[in-house]
Amino acid sequence: MSARFSFAEDVSQALLVAGGGLFALAFVLLLVELRLRGAGARLVTLSGCLALLLLALALLRPVRVQAEASLVGARVVMLVDRSRRMLLPDGKSTREIAARDAARAVRQGMSDARISVLGFAEGEPTPLSLDALGPTRGDDSDLVAALGALSRAGGERPEAVVVVSDGRLTRPLPNLRDAELSRLVGELGVPIHTVLVTEREPPDAAVRALQTAGAAVAHQPLALRIEIACSGGLECNELPVEVRELRQGEPPAVLASGVAKLAGAPSATLELSITLDRAGPRIVEVVTTAPEGDAVPENDRRIVTFNVARQRVRLLHVAGRPTYDVRSLRRWLKADESVDLVAFFILRTDDDTPMTSDDSELALIPFPVDELFTEHLPSFDAVVLQDIDAVTYRLAQHLPALERYVRAGGGLIMVGGPSSFGGGGYARSPLERVLPVEIGEPTRPFDLGEFVPRYTAVGRVAPPLLPLRELVSEDLPRMVGSNTLGAARDGSIVLWEHPDRSTKGGGPMPVLALGDAGDGRSIALAVDGTHELAFSEFAERTAGRAYGALWDGLLGWLMRDPRYEAARVRLAEPCVAGQKAKLEVTRLPGTEGELELVVEPLGVNEAKPSVHRAPMPASGSLVVEVGPFTPGGYSAHARVGKSPPTRFDFACERGGPAWSDTRPDAARLERIAKLSGGRFVTKSAAGSLPKPPPTEVATLREVTPIVPAWAWALVAACALGWHWIERRRAGLA
């Protein structure tokens, strides 16, 4: 039991300061009075000082505090690095195991202390059990964020912090000045002891860093800075580097290649220019070939996702003859500022007689079919083939290239007309394989019967047609004839069907269908009368806006505009090879039914895609666990009910950026310890960290006033009265 004196606990700091100031002023005035009046003012001064003293005591009301306290071990927070980097091999074990052993040694060495063990990686640290570590938590080792969270936390402040890591921290950065580093790690105001879990530097060649200059934009060259490094005594001279794009159903496309010339240096940087032609998430891998002896082959390859933006949709519109249907489509495309249109219309055939002496009187140029479909084809985001005969205009020889173009991510729309589909020589052609419908070899390539297309069940909920349906409901103009189409391909969606015609299989003939083909998408429209939505008595109802609504939806879907996707898919957290990945699927309003999620690796493979089915909640999103996967690129196709599928590509890495630099960083841990007043040790000396002094914890506390408050007030009032009398006697006011 200990006892001490104090003041009443209800007296605030502000009151103390204000009272102190007033009393000091009064005391000074008394001294001035004494000096001016000499001995005659002695009693006045004496009574005044006494009155001031008693007044102060009446205000402060002294108390006696009796307390009973005990000593407990100091509170220590141990921060154990839980980034994915700790899964790196360390001899026959891993850094994660080394960290766990070091943490146990620290706990043993500070047996008297109250130790909280937290794991840190990205964001705030979380409690960690050293007996069951659980999965790692991310690519980063953000010590600054972890210390910041500790300083913001309420409750008892720790007396010391112990950091257990390999030192290759994301924050604080390695090259900070002492003042800046002190500021970052000194916020808590306690010593930070650091424990280096390993001193082993594995022999390793790695893709250490990838940097891009600016954002990735479709068709625009993008400078990719690649740092290739060798460490741990591995001898590297020249390492080949290749950048490839992973595509569905296609072998990886080499975008660029080069050689990193290390010649004994620890690292070399090379800049490669790549051009991604397709917008949206594109999966790119950067691969180097390491020399023998590389202990960490996983970081020889980085697989990253580029979210490629598109400035404008670059579209090639090729029409076999000018018609009102061509006119409407061209006018709409030209009016859309987001479309960069390149158009070629066949205005004259060999059978036509222009009545000229020579071609110089004509404003016609030869159809550059070879140039367009070889050299320039990859530069287009989409191609519209409208009523053009593939045989007559030598397009047939380029159909294999057009098929590859679609499979590599391009968009294709075939618009109906007498020379489209079977009437244009596309039946059994390579292009038919990427259309959403079969053409077959019909006896009649087109039919002359008038009809009004009918919405299918899918068409009623498909986002690409929602804007049109909002304007004209399910009404459509009468069409004069239709191309003959076969059944829809597996995975394709039919939005409009013919009310009278049927396929060979007996089902209604598709009129408007869309589907995926490899990385690309295609649309088949078996009529040449959608211009009736732009200009006709029917079009008057909407002032022609229905045409734009239809084509906005079709082109938007073709270009994977999220507005026209039936669902949205994203990774709930980064995909790590070997662990389950979480895909979050959000359905759009209007779509309903069961979710079918099909995940398959990008590239050419025989592997059976994994299929997951789950009921979609009425609102919100659904997280589906898929995998685990091997390192690579993957494509997820989510389909809610009968709506068209939505595609989402993602990358899975074993180590990712966390494994890009395998060297432990002892120097950084040492600086952190030194600048915060802590101690740096290696794993072997983890048990020898200094123990912080124990903390005194009060268990009993009693506060007793020395004199009751009213007594202090009475005595002070008497003293003030005496002082007033003395002043009157001395003739003072």
Cβ proximity to another protein, 290 vs 534, nearer residue: 534
Cβ proximity to another protein, 165 vs 419, nearer residue: 419
How far is 601 from 612, CA to CA, in rounded Å?
Answer: 15
Cis peptide, bond prior to residue 628, ω within 30 of zero: yes
Q: 284 φ, ψ to 5°?
A: -125, 135
Nearest to 106 by CA among 692, 694, 688: 688
Cβ proximity to another protein, 447 vs 596, nearer residue: 447
Cβ proximity to another protein, 490 vs 537, nearer residue: 537
How far is 504 from 492, CA to CA, in rounded Å?
Answer: 17
254 binds another protein (CB under 8 A): no
Residues numbered 615 to 674 that lie near another protein (CB under 8 A) are none
Give just the sign of the alpha carbon dihedral 675, 678, 684, 685: positive
324 binds another protein (CB under 8 A): yes
Binding segment toward another protein, per CB under 8 A, in 306-314, 528-536, 654-662, 693-701: 528-536
Min dist CB 544 to another protein, Å, is: 5
Min dist CB 422 to another protein, Å, is: 7
Binding segment toward another protein, per CB under 8 A, in 54-62, 254-262, 540-548, 651-659: 540-548
Interaction mask 325-364, another protein, x per CB under 8 A:
xxx--xx--x------xxxxxxxxx-xxxxxx---xxxxx
Pairing of strands 75-81, 160-165: parallel
* Angstrom distances, CA of residue 248 to CA of 345, 524, 624: 32, 21, 22
314 binds another protein (CB under 8 A): no
Residue type at 427 in one-letter notation: A
> Which of 166, 528, 552, 565 lies at the binding interface for another protein (CB under 8 A)?
528
How far is 551 from 523, CA to CA, in rounded Å?
Answer: 11
322 binds another protein (CB under 8 A): yes
> Which of 109, 125, 445, 692 lies at the binding interface for another protein (CB under 8 A)?
445
Q: Supply 9's token pair.
A: 């606990």
**3-class DSSP assignment, residue 10:** coil
**3-class DSSP assignment, residue 352:** coil
Min dist CB 138 to another protein, Å, is: 49
414 binds another protein (CB under 8 A): no
Min dist CB 389 to another protein, Å, is: 9
Min dist CB 427 to another protein, Å, is: 9
> Which of 167, 281, 409, 417 lies at the binding interface for another protein (CB under 8 A)?
417
Beta bridge partners of 316: 342, 383
What number of chain residues touch another protein (CB under 8 A)?
A: 57
Cβ proximity to another protein, 47 vs 328, nearer residue: 328
Min dist CB 346 to another protein, Å, is: 5
Beta bridge partners of 119: 80, 126
> Which of 165, 482, 522, 579 lies at the binding interface for another protein (CB under 8 A)?
482
Min dist CB 376 to another protein, Å, is: 10
501 binds another protein (CB under 8 A): no
Residue type at 311 in one-letter notation: Q
Task: Kindly state the helix (H) or strand (E) to which residue 374 belongs, with its residue range.
Answer: helix 369-374
Nearest to 398 by CA among 291, 508, 316: 316
Contact present, 632 and 603 (Cβ < 8 Å): yes
Task: Kindly state the helix (H) or strand (E) to which residue 459 belongs, with its residue range.
Answer: helix 457-461
Min dist CB 285 to another protein, Å, is: 36
Please spell the DSSP secondary structure of 581-621, one letter per residue: EEEEEEEPTT--SEEEEEEEESBS--PPPEEEEEEPPSSSE
Min dist CB 334 to another protein, Å, is: 7
418 binds another protein (CB under 8 A): yes
- Residue 635 carries which DSSP code? E
Cβ proximity to another protein, 477 vs 692, nearer residue: 477
Min dist CB 446 to another protein, Å, is: 5
Cβ proximity to another protein, 136 vs 483, nearer residue: 483
Location of structure tokens 């494509």 = 635
> Which of 187, 227, 447, 665 lies at the binding interface for another protein (CB under 8 A)?
447
423 binds another protein (CB under 8 A): yes
* Angstrom distances, CA of residue 394 to CA of 275, 349, 389, 425: 29, 12, 8, 11
Binding segment toward another protein, per CB under 8 A, in 322-330, 641-649, 676-684, 686-694: 322-330
425 binds another protein (CB under 8 A): yes
Residues numbered 368 to 387 that lie near another protein (CB under 8 A) are 387
C-beta neighbour count of 189 within 10 angstroms: 9
* Angstrom distances, CA of residue 192 to CA of 72, 123, 195, 446, 680: 20, 19, 10, 81, 9
Cβ proximity to another protein, 331 vs 691, nearer residue: 331
312 binds another protein (CB under 8 A): no
Q: 159 φ, ψ to 5°?
A: -90, -20
Between 42-60 and 13-37, two packed helices, what is the crossing angle to 10 degrees? 170
- The distance from CA 414 to its chain's CA centroid, rounded to whole angstroms, is 36
* Residue numbers at the binding site for another protein (CB under 8 A): 320-327, 330-331, 334, 341-349, 351-356, 360-365, 387, 417-418, 422-423, 425, 445-448, 479-482, 528-529, 531, 534-537, 539-540, 543-544
